[in-house]
Amino acid sequence: MAKSVAIVGRPNVGKSTLFNRLAGKRLAIVDDTPGVTRDWREAPAALGDLRFRAIDTAGLDGIDADVLAARARTHTESAIADADAVIFLVDARAGLTLQDRDFARALRRQAKPVILAANKAEQGAGTLEDFSALGFGEALALSAEHGEGMAELHAALAPLVGEEESAADRAENKPLKLAIIGRPNVGKSTLVNRLLGKDRILTGAEAGTTRDAVVVPWHWRGRAVDLIDTAGLRRRPKISGKLEELSVADARKAIRFAEICVLVVDATQLFEKQDLTIGREVAEEGRALVLAINKWDLVSDRKAKLKEIAEKLETGLPQLAGIKRVTLSAKTGAGIDRLMPAVFETHEIWNRRIPTPQLNRWLAEAQDRNPPPLASGRRLRLRYMTQANIRPPTFALFASKPGKLPESYRRYLVNLLRESFDLPGVPIRMMLRKGANPYEKGGRDRA
């Protein structure tokens, strides 16, 4: 298993910029505002032939910290404790600060191998000699933004993280990518912590506590899962400020790269339009969805609440008909044990493939039950059907005049497909094609 390297330091020294460079893509939100990163997040990283897991952490102010900052500090200390090595990042332009000294004392208590690196040194800003007072030797000069000093960082990391992870190790047990999504303050981070069995994600009553989409590697009953906690998704007119825009963009990117999304809703509130909007966004991206109805322990009339949710889903989210619903309490843990089985069942449906002969027998029966309408006085001919793809289930329907097939009849076929082949909770895509049966001898697509 790859070793892990935590990137630590006071706020705004460039930790997330270095994290993104090592990960090879923009994963962490980067902004000049101090304290953007609150949760620690990790990702596979590479530097030359080295392969390891990089951990981005919140900055530790250590002075006049409020309650939220204090919780962030605790999470950063946990990240350091879990890491095999630490990159202690300081700011070459600002020089040595009291906060750097405070941080150095905290690191010495952890007794981890530490690489001291002075970031923002692309213009030879400041002197690095003062940083030797921190007790970690001479500081490496680097620029995370411009990629300078990476060879020196490689040389320092090589003895600590070992050789490249083998391809076989990387391919083994490829994790399911599971995104936890929803409106702000519905209990997403609390649910993630409950699943993990520890306070891994920063939580609180403050709206917007989660900013980055935080990926946490996890195993459930021997199955590898990348658990992704996301920022709350509000309606666009209610999004305020650049940081929230970046957080929401990060959450939407998490949806695009996930396989399954768990939409968390608050059972104590009305099932809102925004919940349905998020669900539709998941369907448009072709992802499967599981509904987690949180705070179920606070609901008095549970039968009425379930009826309300069912009615809203039927009218507002028909493209994911039959979505699995799990009532639970992230705070107490009640019902949590039903969530992951529902996730993996939905994942199997999302990956399901239906044999072509079976599909075409079904197509003939569907037309016998409800024949296609007339077009210019002639009956439309639905000639052949095959499954073109999975993830989500995608079907190609060959017809004599596909442009004349009404949307209502296409919906009839999709709904019947879902019912006949047990495909609840996943989007179904149907592509209309003109032509004869492409698999018959001499058949060809004349589109």
Give domain limits for the chain.
4-169, 173-350, 356-434
Report the distance separating Cα 358 and Cα 244, nearest Å.
Answer: 49
Q: What is the 3-state secondary structure of 168-212?
A: HHHHCCCCEEEEEEECCCCCHHHHHHHHHCCCCCCCCCCCCCCCC
Distance of CA 287 to the CA centre of its chain: 12
Give the residue from 2, 56, 9, 55 showing the smallest Cα distance to 30.
Answer: 56
pLDDT of 189 higher than 90: no
Distance of CA 327 to the CA centre of its chain: 22
Report the distance separating Cα 15 and Cα 60, nearest Å.
Answer: 12
**For residue 298, what are its two tokens?**
């606070």
Q: Which residue has the tokens 């952890």?
A: 110
Tens-place pLDDT, residues 377-396: 777 889 899 998 999 999 99
Looking only at Cα atoms, what is the longest distance across the chain?
Answer: 89
Cα-based angle 213, 215, 217 (whole degrees, multiple of 5): 170
Percent of the chain with pLDDT over 90: 44
Domain 173-350 shares a fold with domain 356-434: no
Q: Is residue 233 very low, low, confident or very high in pLDDT (cuts 50, 70, 90)?
A: confident
Q: What pLDDT sits at residue 242?
A: 62
Report the distance separating Cα 210 and Cα 303, nearest Å.
Answer: 32
Handedness of CA 10, 11, 16, 18 (dihedral sign): negative
| 3.40.50.300, 3.40.50.2300, 3.40.640.10, 3.40.50.410: CATH of 173-350 | 3.40.50.300
Q: What pLDDT sits at residue 79?
A: 77
Please give the residue that has the higher pLDDT: either 380 or 206: 380
Q: What is the CATH topology of the domain spanning 4-169? A: Rossmann fold (3.40.50)
Q: What pLDDT sits at residue 444?
A: 45
CA distances to 41, 131, 141, 244 from 150, in Å: 21, 19, 9, 32
Q: What pLDDT sits at residue 34?
A: 46
Partnered with residue 225 across adjacent β-strands are 176, 218
pTM for the whole structure: 0.67
Report the distance separating Cα 259 and Cα 223, nearest Å.
Answer: 15
Q: Summarize the confidence of residues 385-408 as an average pLDDT.
A: 90
Q: Is residue 237 very low, low, confident or very high in pLDDT (cuts 50, 70, 90)?
A: low
pLDDT of 216 higher than 80: yes
* Helix or strand run (H / E) with residue 378: strand 378-379
Q: What is the CATH topology of the domain spanning 356-434? A: GMP Synthetase; Chain A, domain 3 (3.30.300)
Report the distance separating Cα 447 and Cα 316, nearest Å.
Answer: 34
User: Per mean pLDDT, which range of 213-222, 227-236, 314-323 is the poorest?
Assistant: 227-236
Please give the residue that has the higher pLDDT: either 363 or 76: 363
Q: Is residue 296 very low, low, confident or very high in pLDDT (cuts 50, 70, 90)?
A: very high
Please give the residue that has the higher pLDDT: either 397 or 66: 397
Report the distance separating Cα 147 and Cα 227, nearest Å.
Answer: 30
Among 64-78, 206-220, 393-407, the range of highest mean pLDDT: 393-407
pLDDT of 207 higher than 60: no
Distance of CA 6 to the CA centre of its chain: 21
**For residue 339, what are its two tokens?**
């969530």
pLDDT of 90 higher than 60: yes
Q: Summarize the confidence of residues 242-258 as an average pLDDT.
A: 78
Handedness of CA 360, 362, 366, 368 (dihedral sign): positive
Tens-place pLDDT, residues 330-372: 999 999 999 999 999 999 999 999 999 999 999 999 999 999 8
Q: State the virtual CA torsion across 30, 32, 33, 37 in degrees, nearest 10.
A: 30
